[in-house]
Amino acid sequence: MDGQSSPRDKAKTLLVMGRGGTGKTSFVALAAKHFIAAGKTPLLLVDLDPDQNLGEMVGVDLESEGVKTISELVTDTFIGRGGTLGGIAPSERIENRIWGEGLYESDFFDLVAIGTRWVEGCYCLPDAALKVALTSITKNYRFVLIDSPAGLEHLNRKITSHVDAIIDIVGPSGRTFGHVRRSRQIIREVNISTGHFYIVGGFLYPAPEEQWIKETFPGNYLGKVAADPAVQEYVLSGRSLLEIHPDSPGYRSVQEILKRPGFDSDSGDPVSS
């Protein structure tokens, strides 16, 4: 990590979530491009999706780079090496391995991925390990961008107890209202502290519905990601979205969305629109 700006005392953490197919991972990648262009570096990108698409969208192949996922480190530590679960908390035991073997580092951003779960069952141990590690490392970054898996189950996993903003990417589904309502309910129930909850229309979200969502969730809607064939071409071909042209409609719409709540400001927390 060798960013061009000095880190703030406290990183701004943005958690991006949404149903499958809404474009949340491409949103995170384009958001990373925006913050890099704006000099808001270094960034930490956190991929909580077992499909691990975020790395590809920012031009990183963790396997070829020799970087392990959190789940791989857990498997290696407690199965491959025969480590016990007693004594020191397992999550603390592998923290050093996470930053030594599980962190991809570049000039402007670092990337860590949860990976596929280590054994049959839940993600409890990888989640706990990542949560402990994030607590100690986030102060080194300007922004932490978290790409969540599809659905709402990840909120119960509570990888982080505090985020500055949650951005819910919604798609062309009649269940949009129910999804947003349940998201906010779960956030309250599991006690995730967040300053703001925002809604963004994915590239497939129908423009005529924008007025409805503005009226239903006043003050929460930031806008719609523009449909952009170039973004789709990059994603389908496995090209890094960090390399997309600055005039790309999809990229420019993400820039405008992020500017509205004041994420670019150095004068404090993002503000409600």
Q: Which two tokens stand for residue 227?
A: 């449909």
From first to last of its 273 residues, what are the pLDDT tens digits of the chain?
Answer: 544 444 445 678 898 988 778 899 999 999 999 999 999 999 999 998 877 789 999 999 999 999 999 888 888 876 655 554 444 455 566 777 888 899 999 999 999 998 875 555 556 677 777 777 777 777 789 999 999 876 666 565 556 667 888 899 988 876 677 778 887 777 777 767 777 889 999 998 888 888 888 888 888 999 999 999 999 999 999 999 999 999 999 999 999 999 998 887 654 444 433
Is 146:14 a contact under the CB 8 Å cutoff? yes
Distance CA 212, CA 210 (A): 5
Q: Which residue has the tokens 């402990």?
A: 132
- Please state the domain extents for the chain: 12-259
Model confidence, pTM = 0.85
DSSP state letters, the chain: ---SSPPPSS-EEEEEEESTTS-HHHHHHHHHHHHHHTT---EEEEE--TT-HHHHHTT--TTTTTPPPHHHHHHIIIIIS---SSSS-HHHHTHHHHHHHS-EE-SSEEEEE--S-SSSS-SHHHHHHHHHHHHHHGGG-SEEEEEPPSSSHHHHH-S-SEEEEEEEEE-S-TTHHHHHHHHHHHHHHTT-EEEEEEEEE-TTS-GGGHHHHHHHSTTTEEEEPPP-HHHHHHHHHT--GGGS-TT-HHHHHHHHHHHTTTTT-SSSS----
Q: Count how many Cα atoms sit within 13 Å of the Cα of residue 266 in the half-sphere of its side chain.
A: 11
Quick one: pLDDT at residue 117?
A: 59
12-259 to CATH, choices 3.40.50.300, 1.10.150.110, 2.60.40.10, 3.40.50.360 = 3.40.50.300
